[in-house]
C-alpha cells in the first residue's frame, strides 16, 4: 500500500510539472472551437475567457429593481439556513437547507434588509433549474447557445438539452462560498457583475483530498426562531423531508428513501486542518478571480471552492457530453455563505 501511495503522489507531482499550468491562463476573446478543444477540453485544463458574452442583456439588466419588476410576483422555492452553510458537513452531519415557498418580491424585501437585520440566510439553490421551472421570464436575458463551445463539442448545447435543465437561477443576493466539490460535467462560469474567487484542484490531486461519510439531515426553524438539525433516516421518504433540489443533489428519485450516509469533503481550503488532513499538504491548488464580463472554463472532475463577492451576479452552463445542464446563476447581494454539492 505504501508503494501505491508513493506512485500516486509521484503521478500528481508529474502532472503538475509536465502539463498543468501554475496559474489559470487568460484568453482575450472567444476561442476557435478546434483550438479550444485541443488546448483546453482535451487536456482537461481550466482557463478564463474575456469578451465571450458581452452581448448578453443580463449584463445591463440584472439589477434588484429589474428583477422585482420582471419576476417579483412569481412564487419560487427558497432555501433557508441559520448561517448560509447548506449542503455541507456540520459536525458529523451532512446538513441540507429548509425549503420555503415565497414570492420573489418577498425574498427581495428580506435580502434588501440584510445590512440591518440578523437572522436566517435566504437563497435560491435548486439543483435542477429554477430558471426554466420558476423564472422562465429571465431566459431571454441569457444565451444558452455558446457557439464556439457547441462547435468544440460537436453539437449545439441547446439541441443537447432534450428537455433537461437549462438553468439554475441561484438568486441568493448574498456573498457566498461553496466548499470543495467537483462536478462530472464541463462548466462555463459567466460573471455578469461582481467577482467570483476560485480555488481549483485537478483530479490528479484526488488522493490528497479527504472524504467522509455523514448522516444526512435538514435544518428546521422552530417557532422561537432557532434552528434545529433533523436527521433523515433510511426509513423516511425523501419527499417528506428533502426538497427537489436536495433529491437531485443526492441522485434520488421522489420516492426513494434518504441515504443512510452521504459521502462528502469536510476540508475547508481557506483554513485547512493539516493536523487532521496531513495529505492535503501535497495538493497544489490554483487560485483565480473571475470578474464581470469574464468566463471561466472549468473542466469536469476538477475540485473547486467558490466565493462570491458582494453584488456578484453570475451564471454557469454545465455541459455533459451526453446531456447538458445549465446549472447555476447566482445573484449575490448580501453577506453570507452558500455551499453545495461535493
What's the pLDDT score for residue 175? 41
Q: Report pLDDT for 323.
A: 32
Distance CA 244, CA 230 (A): 17
* Percent of all residues in the chain with a pLDDT value above 70, rounded to a whole number: 71
Residues paired with residue 295 on neighbouring β-strands, in sequence order? 49, 190
pLDDT over 80 at 313, yes or no: no
Q: Let me know: does 98 contact 246? Beta carbons within 8 Å.
A: no
- Model pLDDT, residue 304: 92
CATH of 2-332 among 2.60.120.10, 3.20.20.150, 1.10.3720.10, 3.40.50.880 = 2.60.120.10
The pLDDT-based confidence of 58 (bands split at 50, 70, 90) is confident
* Most trustworthy range by pLDDT among 61-75, 78-92, 187-201, 237-251: 61-75
Tell me, what's the pLDDT at 198?
93
Instruction: Select the more confidently predicted residue: 286 or 178.
Output: 286
What integer best gives the mean pLDDT of the chain?
Answer: 76
The more confident residue out of 312 and 37 is 37
pLDDT for res 126: 63
Q: pTM surpassing 0.75? A: yes
* Residues of the chain by 3-state class (helix, strand, coil), percent to 5: 25, 30, 45
Task: Give the list of residues 6+ apart from residue 238 with CB closer than 8 angstroms, or none.
Answer: 232, 246, 247, 252, 253, 254, 255, 256, 257, 258
Q: For the chain, first and last CA: distance in Å?
A: 26
Residues 250-273: tens digit of each pLDDT? 544 445 555 578 898 998 888 899
Task: Please report the DSSP string for 45-65 in residue order.
Answer: --EEEESSSTT-THHHH-SHH
Tens digit of each residue's pLDDT (9 = 90 or more) over 146-156: 889 888 887 65
User: Does residue 131 surpass a pLDDT of 80?
Assistant: no
Looking at residues 70-76, what average pLDDT do you find?
93
Segment 156-202, tens digit of pLDDT: 554 433 222 223 333 434 444 557 888 888 888 888 777 888 999 99
Task: For residue 30, give the DSSP letter.
Answer: P
**Range with top average pLDDT, 136-145, 192-201, 222-231, 300-309:** 222-231
Model confidence band, residue 29 (pLDDT cutoffs 50, 70, 90)? very high
Query: Where are the domains positioned within the chain?
Result: 2-332
- Give the cell for residue 128: 435542477
Amino acid at each position: 500500500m505504501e508503494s501505491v501511495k508513493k506512485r500516486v503522489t509521484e503521478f500528481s507531482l508529474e502532472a503538475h510539472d509536465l502539463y498543468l499550468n501554475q496559474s489559470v491562463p487568460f484568453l482575450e476573446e472567444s476561442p476557435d472551437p478546434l483550438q479550444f478543444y485541443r488546448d483546453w477540453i482535451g487536456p482537461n485544463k481550466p482557463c478564463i475567457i474575456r469578451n465571450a458574452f458581452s452581448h448578453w442583456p443580463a449584463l445591463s439588466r440584472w439589477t434588484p429593481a429589474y428583477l422585482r419588476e420582471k419576476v417579483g410576483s412569481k412564487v419560487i422555492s427558497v432555501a433557508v439556513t441559520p448561517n448560509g452553510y447548506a449542503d455541507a458537513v456540520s459536525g458529523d452531519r451532512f446538513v441540507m437547507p429548509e425549503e420555503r415557498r415565497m414570492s420573489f418580491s418577498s425574498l427581495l424585501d428580506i435580502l434588501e434588509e440584510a445590512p440591518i437585520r440578523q437572522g436566517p440566510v435566504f437563497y435560491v439553490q435548486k439543483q435542477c433549474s429554477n430558471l426554466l421551472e420558476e423564472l422562465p421570464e429571465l431566459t431571454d436575458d441569457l444565451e444558452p447557445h455558446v457557439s464556439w463551445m457547441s462547435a468544440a463539442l460537436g453539437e449545439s448545447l441547446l439541441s443537447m438539452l432534450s428537455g433537461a435543465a437549462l438553468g439554475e437561477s441561484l438568486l441568493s443576493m448574498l456573498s457566498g462560498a461553496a466548499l470543495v466539490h467537483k462536478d462530472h460535467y464541463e462548466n462555463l462560469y459567466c460573471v455578469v457583475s461582481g467577482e467570483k474567487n476560485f480555488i481549483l484542484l485537478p483530479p490528479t490531486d484526488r488522493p490528497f483530498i479527504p472524504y467522509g461519510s455523514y448522516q444526512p439531515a435538514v435544518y428546521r426553524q422552530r417557532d422561537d426562531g432557532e434552528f434545529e438539525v433533523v436527521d433523515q433516516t433510511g426509513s423516511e421518504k425523501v419527499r417528506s423531508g428533502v426538497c427537489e433540489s436536495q433529491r437531485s443533489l443526492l441522485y434520488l428519485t421522489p420516492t426513494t428513501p434518504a441515504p443512510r450516509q452521504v459521502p462528502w469533503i469536510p476540508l475547508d481550503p481557506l483554513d485547512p486542518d493539516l493536523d487532521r488532513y496531513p495529505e492535503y499538504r501535497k495538493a497544489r491548488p490554483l487560485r483565480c478571480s473571475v470578474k464581470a464580463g469574464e468566463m471561466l472554463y472549468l473542466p469536469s472532475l476538477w475540485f473547486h471552492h467558490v466565493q462570491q463577492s458582494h453584488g456578484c451576479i453570475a451564471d454557469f452552463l454545465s455541459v455533459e457530453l451526453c446531456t447538458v445542464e445549465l446549472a447555476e446563476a447566482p445573484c449575490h447581494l448580501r453577506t453570507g455563505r452558500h455551499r453545495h454539492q461535493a
